[in-house]
Structure 1
Amino acid sequence: MIIVIDYDAGNTANVLRALNKIGVEAKLSDQAQDILAADGLILPGVGAYRSAMAQLEQRSLLAPLKEAVQAGKPLLGICLGMQLLTDFGLENGETQGLGLIPGVCRKIPDQEGLPVPHMGWNNLTVRKSSALTEDLAGETVYFVHSYFTDVDSKYIDVTADYGLDLPAMIHKDHVFGCQFHPEKSGQVGLGILEKFKEYVYENSTRH
């Protein structure tokens, strides 16, 4: 079972629909026991870093989430969910993040002719391979974001050119992040979710 973490951060219906389309047994939950019993976890999100972390804290999800990752459960953060993987975010002041991938979530700098938020379809450049990156070179996916994860290059698998190389996919060990929305990116996005499913069950004792 893959648990989609429910912390009132939007877009969960689309994520669940996409998982259903590729035959994944998935459930939306904010219950610690579900998170700890899951084979894999997805942290979706649309909105602001500070309010999202406040919601996770309010629902007492920080401890079980970190415990599950520490126990080796694969986690995929999507959009805001990827940003929350960092040490802290700078949206509306400094906010401590999950600290699962070292880095800072910063605002995309203003550049002439490149409006913020970065919204729409953008090509991907694969920088190094991971469990989720096969066949992604040159593919196009859907982004909506004003902030990016400023992380060391060793954690960056895929970038998108938007005046600077924005990290589009990052990972450390069994923690993965997609800045774009795979659930809104057609067959390419479904393929990424399929690869995450395969990774989860290859690394799980429960099939």
Structure 2
Amino acid sequence: MFYKISGPEIISKYVGESEDVIRSIFEDARSQPRAIIFFDEIDSVAPQRGDESHESSRRLVGQFLTLMDGFDKSDNVIVIATTNRPQDIDVALRRPGRFDWEIHFPNPSRDDREAILVTSARKLATSGDLPHGAMADRTSGWSPAELTAIWSDAALFAVKDNRKAITTEDYLAGFEQAAKRRNLIASSRPATTPKADTAT
């Protein structure tokens, strides 16, 4: 059995509900012959606790740690998690015996960025020769998700101007929009680090 859990989706405004959801997932997984629980954006489920942390957040992290500690080597359950912000995960979760391995994926190189942009463009209606190489030069440090976001913004510009295909003008405008959003996020939070997959 494979459980794919989006961290933000299980966070509830109601007291105790998020803890109940996580507990139910682990209990059901344990009842299976074999199970994998995959948490995407684990930093939203187990954020770093501090003096200013909300009580509900501390309870959720505590519940998650308790469930992780309930496993032993004989269990047929594997827990995997991903995050773009490993520095935001509560340190207790990264101690030995909980998540035992960490795999870091660096941001794509210049050639990788161009390949991502070219591949993403194949799924879209585009017009003319688009400057993928120049765009790859301008996006140093961008993640694959940030690169593909350029296309979402470019498509919106095309639709706004009643065009059925993305032009170079839309492409550049999409980049500017994505760059503004990226800078806004960077200014409001600590710098993003490479994505880390963690498994136990």
Give the structure-2-normalised TM-score: 0.33
Which structure would you say has the larger Rg? 2
Question: Relative contact order: is structure 1 or structure 2 higher (C-alpha 8 Å, sep ≥ 6)?
Answer: 2
Q: Report the structure, 1 or 2, having the larger strand content.
A: 1
Give the structure-1-normalised TM-score: 0.32
Q: Report the structure, 1 or 2, having the larger helix content.
A: 2
